[in-house]
Copies of this chain bind each other. A is one copy, B any other.
C-alpha cells in the first residue's frame, strides 16, 4: 500500500494480495483517522460480501472468487473500541459484466485498488442498537 496526502484527502493504492478492509484500517490506525469516508475502484481476486437480514439480526455471506472488477466501493470510517472501523459496501463485476453486491466483509486486491479517502478532524463513534443488533453511527447534532 502506498498513499499520498493532500490536505484532508488521501490517495491510496493497494497492491495485489492486500486485503482492502484490513489495509485501510491499518492506514487509519497509523494516521489516527477516526472519522472519514472513501470511494474506490480496482479489481479483486476474492471477496466476501454480506446481506443483512433484519429478521435474523444477522448477515448471510457469500464468498466470491475469480477476476472481479470493483464496480463501486464506498465506505466510512468510525472509531469503535478505540480502533478505526471500516464500514463499506461494494459492487463487483464478473467477466460477463454481471454485478453482485452488498456489505464488504473483506476482499483481496488482484491488480490494483485505487481509493480516495477524506478524513475528518473529529472521530465518529458507533453505538450498538439493541433493536437491530447493528452498531449505528453515534451522532449528536453538532456544528463546526
Verify A76–B13 contact, CB threshold 8 A.
no
- Give the number of residues in A that approach B within 8 Å (Cβ atoms): 73
Q: What's the nearest-Cβ distance from chain B to residue A8, in Å? A: 9
Of B87, B116, B140, which contacts A37 at CB under 8 A? B116
Verify B93–A51 contact, CB threshold 8 A.
yes
Copies in the complex: 3
* A137 contacts partner chain B, Cβ-Cβ < 8 Å: yes
Q: Give every chain B residue within 8 A of A69 (Cβ-Cβ).
A: 51-52, 89, 101-103
Verify B89–A72 contact, CB threshold 8 A.
yes
Verify A132–B16 contact, CB threshold 8 A.
yes
CA distance A135 to B76 in the complex (A): 27
Interface residues of A in 110-134 (CB under 8 A from B): 110-112, 114, 116, 118, 120-122, 124, 129, 131-132, 134
- A positions within 8 Å CB-CB of B: 2-7, 9, 11-13, 15-16, 35, 37, 39-41, 43, 45, 49, 51-55, 60, 62, 67, 69-76, 87-91, 93-95, 97-103, 110-112, 114, 116, 118, 120-122, 124, 129, 131-132, 134, 136-137, 139-144
